[in-house]
Amino acid sequence: MSSGTRRTNSSDPLLRAVQDGDPACPDGRALASLGRLMRQHAALPASHDLTAGVRARLNNDTQRHVDLEDAIEATWNGAGLPDADLTRLAGLVRMATELPGPVDLRGAVRRKLQASARTPEIIALDATSRWRIWSFVVAGHVAAALLMVAFHQSSLQRAAESSVVAVAGSGASAGPTDSLQPGPGHGVVLPAQWSAARGGAADLLLLRRFPELREEARQQYSLMPSREVVGGGLAWLLAGQAADGFFGPRSDDLDLDLATQGLAMLAVQGEGLGDGDRLAAVRRGAEWLVTARSATAPQAAMSRALTALALTDAALLTGDRYLRAHAERALAELDDGQELSPGASGLGGFALLATELANAGDLTVSTRLVERARRDLGRPLPAVDADAGRIGLAIFARQMTGLRGQDSTRSQLASLRLLVPVAGGIADPLGWFFATCAAREAGGDDWTAWNTAMQVRLVPLFQWEAGRAHLPAAAARHAGSLPMVGDTVATATALLNLQAGYRFLPLAR
Amino acid sequence: MPLALPLPPMTDVPAPATILDADQQVMARIREGDQEAVVTLVERYQHELTGFFYHLSWDQLIAEELAQDVFVNVYRSRERYQATAKVRTYLYRIAHNLWIDHLRRQKRHVSIDAELGDESLRLVDVLQAPGGEARDHEDRDELIRARIQEALADLPEGQREVFILANNHGMKYQDISVTLGIPEGTVKSRMHNAVRSLRDALGDLVEEQ
């Protein structure tokens, strides 16, 4: 553009003068000369056509793109000579992505195939058949829901009518059978004999899944006297859950906190998943466990075992694959070569319960760990002066491994009868846990004696406030000395004992 | 554990119907309900299928569980398998479907936790755990491994799967196309983009070698 044709609309007189030679400006002429001079010397030395350059670069890019595509094809699709850089990249990635550990899926796949053979193969059905089945399923669920509502009404009425339920009473509920059988509404009728309840049912957590079944189990297995404190204790635990998922105040000792959380989770999960709020509480609680143990692996054997057990229980109850993966990881970490020991009050037995439950629930748990837990925790005989928990673990382990009929098991059951909780004695819900499990599995008089005494001892110790109940730490052995978490441990362990009638279907073989 | 949806018949890759290779002989036994034949298949393919899921999830436990599901699904849908399909491609097709299924469930997890307002959600962290751990490790090899895993994890899902199948499982574009149910051209473009991204992210490591 020539300077002669330049006309600016700028309001700045100086700029106008430089660009156009404004005569009104005092040094207008000089400024115009300056402008002209600058323009002349700032001009391109020659006209420049960029077309060729742009075209060349575009071609170059296209060529590089084509070259890269060819190189990729050659390296990964076998079309020509592989590119050296890409081959190095491929090798690097392969090196960095090797599996961290060996893989042997044969056992797990076998188990799944066996389980799969027991389930109907709807996959092989045509669309019409599937539609028909789903219609029946939906209709069945609607009918079942209606029956459950009716059953719930009648059972509440029945509970209200019987203000006192004999603890020692057997067959309190109408129509006990010899095995777990299909029934109206809730799906099963509980058997009179606990050991017969397992039958062919694979779902060990069945009784927890429906409130009606828990109610039936409480009546059937003489747990009605503790029904209210269990409900109050559950409400207390849930009310105390912090936003991060931990139940109650923390001690800041990670091992202790993990064990406490494990116990609280088991107690909450003992009452099933209930409504959406309960499920949310379980998920938050489990997430706390997952996060805490991922950050720092628990060191104490009991913390590790309780974490594995609580996650296993949560995974089976929710059917959640994420929890299942973490439960399996926690179980795998139990198998670190460290010695497993029954310990005081048989508390080492939580590891045995975790492995047995995982094994029965088809979670992946190494056979070596299952065997080791049975050998190290189940087989050792308790000392002559062992407490109820230690003897209980010995019995429970024998029951689970098919040795319930052995003389040694019967002899230990007789020993346990001498150690039933007594009025005025120290309540030791943590130490009693395996004794309660053993008595529950044994059933009959052993269960009646233990269960009656345990409830009589525990129930009055609960303190009520605003519809919630908790067992104060000071009232329970072990819990009183725990910093901050004592109340949670005492309440949770008491609940674990009082839920024994419906926690699992019989684990004993 | 929920299993994957019914699978479409696999007829894309023709093979002589009369000559059955070793894998197809195993599949023939599986079709007759022989569960031990599934175990034979497990022995042959467990490592690479677990590897496939591991490369997508960075979690060996999840990888093993999903790999188990592949074999169980093979058995459960045995009636649908046609001997014209390559067994290996068929297995990877099931694996791909299971992975998609897994991702859907994972998204549900995230949304449930988001509703709960749970800030401690660690699902993503957990899936990337090996990388996270490695970053803290002082050993140089571990740092390199972490960088490579991170670069892979940063790829869009589709690109990552294509790259892993091609690079770590030696699949050709045609087989990847059948496995993922996408056109071969898409495989090619995903591969191209994946390689460009990886080369940009890991260029210095490639040059070092």
How many structural domains are present in chain B? 2
> Does residue A265 register a pLDDT over 70?
yes
Angle at B120 between CA B117 and CA B123, to 5 degrees: 100
A435 versus A409: which is more confidently predicted? A435
Q: B68 touching A, CB under 8 A?
A: yes
Residues B31, B107 within the same domain:
yes
More confident residue, A92 or A48: A92
B24 three-state secondary structure? helix
Q: Do A319 and B205 touch (CB under 8 A)?
A: no
User: Is there a domain that residue B3 lies in?
Assistant: no
Q: What are phi and psi of B19, to 5 degrees?
A: -100, 110
- Contact yes or no for A395/A365 (Cβ under 8 A): no
CA A21 to chain centre: 84
- End-to-end CA gap in chain B: 45
B192 and A69 in contact by Cβ < 8 A? yes
Question: Where does a domain end: B72, B90, B120?
Answer: B120
Mean pLDDT along residues A302-322: 92
How many Å lie between the alpha carbon of B77 and the closest alpha carbon of chain A? 7
Nearest CB neighbour to B191, from listed A76, A101, A325: A76
pLDDT at B204: 83
Instruction: Find, in chain A, the residue whose alpha carbon is nearest to that of B194.
Output: A72
Q: Determine the distance in angstroms separating the CA of B47 from the nearest CA of chain A, rounded to an integer.
A: 6
| Domains of chain A from N-terminus onward | 3-42 (no CATH), 205-498 (1.50.10.20)
Q: Which residues of B touch A92 (CB under 8 A)?
A: 144, 148, 202, 205-206, 209
Quick check: is B78 in a domain? yes
Ordered DSSP codes for A149-193: HHHHHHHHHHHHH-S---TT-SS-SS--BSS-EE-SSSSEE-BSS
Q: What pLDDT does A321 receive?
A: 86
pLDDT over threshold 80, residue B44: yes
The answer to whether B126 faces chain A, any CB pair under 8 Å, is yes
Q: Has residue B110 been placed in a domain?
A: yes
Q: Are the Cβ atoms of A89 and B199 closer than 8 angstroms? A: yes
Q: What angle do CA A229, A232, A236 make, to 5 degrees?
A: 130
Mean pLDDT of B21-27: 85
**Chain CA centroid to CA B204, Å:** 28
Residue A52 has pLDDT above 70, yes or no: yes
Q: How much is the pTM?
A: 0.50
pLDDT for res A174: 37
Task: Name the pLDDT band for A98 (thresholds 50, 70, 90).
Answer: confident
Q: What is the pLDDT of residue A116?
A: 66
Q: Which of B120, B143, B174 is the last residue of a domain?
A: B120
**CB proximity B113 to A under 8 Å:** yes
Domain check: are B68 and B154 in the same one? Answer: no
- Residue B113's pLDDT band, with cuts at 50, 70 and 90, is very low
Choice among A465-469, B25-29, B105-109, B192-196 with the minimum mean pLDDT: B105-109
Q: Examine residue B137 and state whether it is found in any structural domain, yes or no.
A: yes
Percentage above 70 pLDDT, chain A: 78
Find the residue in A nearest to B147 (Cα). A96
> Does the ipTM exceed 0.85?
no
Residue A302: predicted pLDDT: 87
Ramachandran sector of residue A34 (left: φ over 0; alpha: ψ -120 to 50; beta: rest): alpha
Do B55 and A288 count as a contact with CB atoms less than 8 A apart? no
Q: Is B131 on the interface with A (CB under 8 A)?
A: no
Q: What is the pLDDT of residues A285-308, one digit of tens each?
A: 999 999 998 877 777 888 889 999
Residues of B in contact with A100 (CB under 8 A): 60, 130
| Mean pLDDT for all residues in chain A | 79
Label the pairing between strands A181-182 and A463-465: unpaired
**A80 or B121: which leads in pLDDT:** A80
Q: Nearest by CB to B79, which of A95, A124, A294?
A: A124
Task: Give the Cα separation of A423 and A457 in Å (integer).
Answer: 6
- A93 and B168 within 8 Å at the Cβ level: the answer is yes
CB pair distance less than 8 Å for B149 and A96: yes
pLDDT greater at residue B6 or residue A452: A452
CA proximity to A362, closest of A303, A319, A409: A319
pLDDT attached to residue A4: 45
Flag if B148 and A97 touch (Cβ within 8 Å): yes
Q: Within this chain, do residues B116 and B186 fall inside the same structural domain, yes or no?
A: no
Containing structural domain, residue B180:
128-203
- Give A172→chain B minimum CA distance, Å: 36
| H or E element, residue A129 | helix A127-161
Return the CATH number at B109. 1.10.1740.10
Using a CB-CB distance cutoff of 8 angstroms, which residues of chain A are in contact with residue B3?
123
- The answer to whether A377 and A393 have CB atoms below 8 angstroms apart is yes
Give the residue, B40 or A61, on which the prediction is more confident: B40
- What was the pLDDT predicted at A3? 42
How far does B76 lie from chain A, in Å, by closest CA?
7
Q: Is B144 on the interface with A (CB under 8 A)?
A: yes
Question: Is the residue at B164 inside a domain?
Answer: yes
Do residues B107 and B143 share a domain?
A: no
Average pLDDT (A193-204) is 56
User: Does A257 score more than 90 pLDDT?
Assistant: yes
Contacts of B163 in chain A (CB under 8 A): 93
- Regarding whether B143 and B105 lie in a shared domain, the answer is no
B60 and B159 belong to one structural domain: no
Q: To probe the interface with A, which of B108, B195, B208 has the most A CB atoms within 10 Å?
A: B195
Residues B114 and B132 occupy one common structural domain: no
Q: What is the CATH number of the domain that holds B171?
A: 1.10.10.10
A104: closest chain B residue by CA: B46
The one-letter code for the residue type at A245 is G
Q: Average pLDDT, stretch A436-459?
A: 91
Answer yes or no: do B94 and B142 share one domain. Answer: no
User: Are the CB atoms for A28 and A17 separated by under 8 Å?
Assistant: yes
Point out the least confidently predicted range of A182-191, A245-254, A409-418, B118-127. B118-127
For position B92, what pLDDT does the model report? Answer: 93
Report if residue B209 sits inside a domain.
no
Interface test with A, best of B44, B135, B139, B167 (most A CBs within 10 A): B167
Cβ contact B65–A245 (<8 Å): no
- Nearest Cα of chain A lies from the Cα of B203 at a distance, in angstroms, of 8
Q: pLDDT digit string (tens) for A170-184?
A: 333 334 444 455 454
The pLDDT score that the predictor gives to residue A18 is 74
Please report which confidence band the pLDDT of residue A468 belongs to, taking 50, 70 and 90 as the band edges. Answer: very high
Q: Write the residue in A86, A97, A294 that is nearest to B195 by C-beta.
A: A86
Q: Residue A261 has what pLDDT? A: 96
From B120, B153, B183, give the residue that closes a domain: B120
Q: Are residues B178 and B109 in the same domain?
A: no
* Together in a domain, B113 and B19: yes
- Judge contact between A192 and A178, C-beta under 8 A: yes
Same domain for B39 and B108: yes
Determine which of A76, A121, A293, A335 to mutate to test the interface with B (most B C-beta atoms within 10 Å).
Answer: A76
pLDDT at position B183, please?
92
In this structure, is residue B1 part of a structural domain?
A: no
B208 located within any domain: no
Structure tokens at B179: 């496995």
Same domain, residue pair B41 and B60: yes
* B52 close to A (CB below 8 A): no
Which candidate, A471, A407, A458, A410, places its Cα nearest to that of A438?
A410
Q: Which residue has the higher pLDDT, A264 or A59?
A: A264
